[in-house]
Amino acid sequence: MKKVFLSLFIIAPLLLAASIFLLPDASFSPDENRMLKTAADIRGDVLSGDFQTDLEKYLSDQFPMRAALKSAENTVRTVLGANELGGAYVGNGGRLFQKITDEEIDKAAIIRFAERVESFAKESGVPVYAMPVPSAGAALDGELPYGAPFYDFDGLLHELSAAMPSVKTINLKKSLGASADNYYLTDHHWTFDGVLAAYLEWKSAHGEGQNTSGGETITVEVLTLCENFHGTLYSKALLPQTPFDAIKTLAVKGNIKVTADGAEVSFYDLSALEGKDKYNVFQGGNHGIVIIENPDAANKRTLVIIKDSFANSFVPMLVGDFSKIVMLDDRYMLGDALTLTASYAPDEVLVLKEIIN
């Protein structure tokens, strides 16, 4: 009996290893939304230790049923009291939040960027608006697991706006915090509700109408793009039976032409809805330079948006107001967005990013 057990202890792991090497490799894990290491990727050098790291990663990535096992593990963790899974908080009603603590934020870099925005605004004389978007956990702090560590949005925004007195900084926390529906359940971005709430704040900052807390509402024609969206936070927490989000947006009118890094793309790239990261439906995802031209716009004005992905779903609200919108994303271009801004001779500049970026 003991010999049988000993043989099993040797044979079972070997069979597992053999199955990993012999079965075909998957190159992408849809649930985890990431590329997997395949046998072809094990190329590293033994002396540098890269080969060893690659092999370890390969065995983990191609382990039979790994996403299901991860999901089972996370379910057990939740039952045992865990509120955080793979960097996502599981909040009230299963709502997922990206976990971002004060220690994880590069505050100095954020302030340095603000100072550069300030000098641009001061030197160019162009009106500059800033909408630092609070992360879901900062706006909906009541929905977080009780006591969960999260960064201090108010303090950060205070320092940020103090660093750019020539810029009109819009505080979105109150209006976005007014309803949990302003953020997706399974993704860190804002929903169309959130976009509308922020748009009203943007209008009110321009002296048009009240903001949401002033009782202002807006009625627009809504386009539902999909109802089966599992976002970035779903891929972190990987909990079974997570409800789906719907992606909605504005039904835009007019002859809109979108150029992303030199190539023409769709304003709403419906093919992204077939893939995993459905938020990429907005202009096909992030690009370095996106130029949106709308000859039918109300004004012949140019807006430059210095942005991150939050702006992708916000920009539909602005295409009616500007004949040309240039979206610049520092993370996807070689040059520097602020330096490039002047070359587009903007009538107005909007800095629209999650505050931590």
Residues at the contact surface with another protein, assessed by CB under 8 A: 1-3, 5-6, 9-11, 13-14, 16-17, 20, 46-49, 52, 55-56, 59-60, 63, 66, 69-70, 72-73, 80-84, 101-103, 145-149
Nearer to another protein, 76 or 162 (CB): 76
User: Identity (one letter) of the amino acid at 229?
Assistant: F
Nearer to another protein, 125 or 147 (CB): 147
CB of 234 to another protein, least distance (A): 16
Phi-psi region of 125 (alpha: psi -120 to 50; beta: other; left: phi over 0): left
CB of 101 to another protein, least distance (A): 7
What does the block give as tokens for 279? 């938020």
CB of 57 to another protein, least distance (A): 9
Nearer to another protein, 2 or 43 (CB): 2
**Any bridge partners for residue 296, and if so which?**
none
Radius of gyration of the chain (CA): 23
CB of 221 to another protein, least distance (A): 43
Nearer to another protein, 75 or 259 (CB): 75
Cβ contacts of 275 within 8 Å, gap of 6 or more: none
What does the block give as tokens for 110? 């954020």
CB of 65 to another protein, least distance (A): 10
CB of 147 to another protein, least distance (A): 3
Nearer to another protein, 105 or 333 (CB): 105
Q: Where are the beta strands (DSSP E) in 104-256?
A: 128-133, 168-169, 222-229, 245-250
Nearer to another protein, 52 or 119 (CB): 52
Long-range contact set of residues 308-312: C-beta below 8 Å, sequence gap at least 24: 308/352, 308/353, 308/354, 308/357, 309/189, 309/279, 309/285, 310/133, 310/189, 310/190, 310/352, 310/353, 310/354, 311/350, 311/352, 311/353, 312/279, 312/282, 312/283, 312/285, 312/286
| CA 293 to mean position of chain CA atoms | 24
Instruction: Count Cβ atoms below 10 Å from residue 298 Cβ, excluding itself.
Output: 10
Nearer to another protein, 27 or 60 (CB): 60
CB of 342 to another protein, least distance (A): 41
